[in-house]
């Protein structure tokens, strides 16, 4: 059997502080009814105090390592997907490595926003297939709450995002289980549809008072534009990866989509004819946790017994970049 990456353990960590839509309505001109109807979000988690992405990642990583029976020092690589690194550099992967106490395991940061976990999975799978690595820790973690515009100006974006972390330990498998394949895409010509501009290396200094006054250090999004592209690109890339393996949407036992908007996931499932009970949705409780959303949702689904040995798991994501991707895993 072909060597490939298998998910041997999963973990997640969400900060304790729950922020409801009603809490946000006290900060800006919005309402629980608007947020729920447009996105499906009821509440999200926000960190308290000085907590960075690697701090959220640490308990998630420990849980995944424990579930896989792998010690941190046995890892061949740490891949850390985030758009909200603890500090500008070095990457959060290095910070997590130190916290796990596993110097000199290599650490790589992936900056692909909502598709970060799937880009990271493709990298881990490639190293494992090549035979150069056997145990990879893949983490997605985000602290959005410290970077949101909580005034009326930012309400279209700020109500969407939450903090959290998810982790997976990937090991080499030769029994037919594991990652069947991944398809990755990007279209950088549309990067302005969703971005945070500052601090910017092209700007002297990288951030100044005028930029702050204009809110250029906050995320900016053309929500309708992103929505429209997501509902066509996600079904497209899922069909692409299914076709490559001679499979059809009906073969999917469980779809774990990125959690950006419940309406996007409903539309994707409808287009592919995947019944509701085979789609994992938890955006109501966590909002959009970007690179963390797929591993958090997968970890919950596995805990709930929604995947059995031999099942076909599909994962798909769309986000800033623009980037989009889909993976198939034989469980």
Which parts of this chain interact with ligand ACO (CB under 6 A)? 30, 34, 38-39, 113-114, 155-156, 159, 194, 223-224, 226-227, 230, 260-261, 264, 288, 290, 319-320
List, in sequence order, every beta strand (DSSP E) within 14-121: 18-20, 43-45, 77-81, 107-110
Provide the minimum distance between the beta carbon of 214 and ligand ACO in the complex, in angstroms, as a whole number.
19
CB 75 within 8 A of CB 134: no
Out of 13, 102, 112, 258, pick the active-site residue.
258
Q: Which is nearer to ligand ACO, 173 or 182 (CB)?
A: 182
Q: End-to-end distance of the chain based on CA atoms, in angstroms?
A: 15
Nearer to ligand ACO, 159 or 315 (CB): 159
> Least separation, in Å, of the C-beta of 232 and ligand ACO?
13
Among residues 6, 67, 16, the alpha carbon closest in space to that of 286 is found at 16
DSSP at 312: E
> In the complex, what is the shortest distance from the CB of residue 218 to ligand ACO, in angstroms, rounded to a whole number?
12
Task: Please give the angle made by the CA atoms of 300, 301 and 307, to the nearest 5 degrees.
Answer: 145
Tell me, yes or no, if 258 is annotated catalytic.
yes
The catalytically annotated residue of 114, 144, 261, 265 is 114
Nearer to ligand ACO, 227 or 331 (CB): 227
Query: Could you confirm whether 114 is annotated as catalytic?
Result: yes
Nearest residue to ligand ACO, scored by beta-carbon proximity: 319
Radius of gyration of the chain (CA): 19
Cα 47 off chain centre by: 17
State the nearest-atom distance from the C-beta of 81 to ligand ACO, in Å: 12
Task: For the CB of residue 159, give the shortest distance to ligand ACO in the complex, in Å.
Answer: 4
- Rounded Cα gap, residues 45 and 164, in angstroms: 7
Q: What CA–CA distance (Å, rounded) separates 156 from 285?
A: 18
Is 226 or 274 the residue whose CB approaches ligand ACO more closely?
A: 226
DSSP secondary structure string for all residues of 168-196 = EEEEEE-SS-EEEEEEEEE-GGGGGGEE-
In the complex with ligand ACO, the residue whose CB is nearer, 52 or 178, is: 52
For residue 1, the minimal CB distance to ligand ACO (Å) is 36
Least distance between ligand ACO and beta carbon 79 (Å): 18
H/E stretch holding 72 reads: none
E strands present in the chain: 4-13, 18-20, 43-45, 77-81, 107-110, 135-142, 164-173, 178-186, 194-195, 220-221, 254-257, 312-319, 323-330
List the one residue out of 181, 192, 159 whose CA is nearest residue 41: 159
Q: How would you label 274-305 residue by residue, b for 16+ Cβ within 10 Å and e otherwise?
A: beeebbbbbbebbbbbbbbbbbbbbbbbbeee
Q: Which is nearer to ligand ACO, 66 or 224 (CB)?
A: 224
**In the complex with ligand ACO, which residue's Cβ is closer, 52 or 321?**
321
Catalytic site positions:
114, 258, 288
């Amino acid at each position: 059997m072909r060597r490939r990456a298998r998910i041997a353990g999963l973990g997640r960590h969400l900060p304790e502080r729950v922020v409801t839509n009603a809490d946000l309505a006290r900060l800006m001109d919005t309402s629980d009814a608007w947020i729920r109807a447009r996105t499906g979000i009821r509440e999200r988690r926000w960190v308290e105090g000085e907590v960075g992405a690697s701090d959220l990642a640490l308990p998630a990583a420990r849980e995944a390592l424990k579930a896989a029976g792998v010690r941190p020092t046995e890892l061949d690589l740490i891949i850390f997907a985030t758009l909200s690194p603890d500090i500008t550099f070095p990457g959060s992967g290095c910070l997590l490595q130190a916290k796990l106490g596993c110097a000199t395991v290599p650490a790589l940061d992936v900056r692909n926003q909502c598709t970060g976990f799937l880009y990271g999975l493709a990298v881990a799978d490639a190293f494992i297939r090549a035979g150069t690595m056997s145990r990879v820790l893949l983490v997605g973690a985000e602290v959005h709450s410290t970077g949101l515009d909580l005034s009326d100006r930012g309400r279209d974006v700020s109500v969407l995002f939450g903090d959290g972390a998810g982790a997976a330990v990937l090991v080499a498998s030769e029994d037919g289980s594991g990652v069947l394949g991944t398809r990755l895409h990007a279209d950088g010509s549309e990067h302005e549809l969703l971005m945070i501009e500052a601090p910017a290396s092209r700007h002297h200094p990288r951030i100044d008072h005028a930029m702050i006054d204009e809110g250029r250090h906050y995320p900016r999004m053309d929500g309708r534009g992103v929505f429209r592209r997501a509902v066509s690109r996600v079904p497209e890339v899922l069909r692409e990866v299914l076709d490559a393996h001679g499979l059809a949407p009906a073969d999917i036992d469980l779809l774990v989509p990125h959690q950006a908007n419940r309406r996007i996931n409903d539309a994707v499932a409808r287009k592919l004819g995947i019944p509701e009970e085979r789609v994992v949705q938890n955006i109501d409780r966590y909002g959009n946790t970007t690179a963390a959303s797929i591993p958090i949702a997968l970890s919950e689904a596995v805990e709930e017994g929604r995947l059995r040995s031999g099942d076909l798991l599909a994962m798909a994501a769309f986000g800033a970049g623009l980037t989009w991707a889909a993976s198939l895993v034989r469980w």
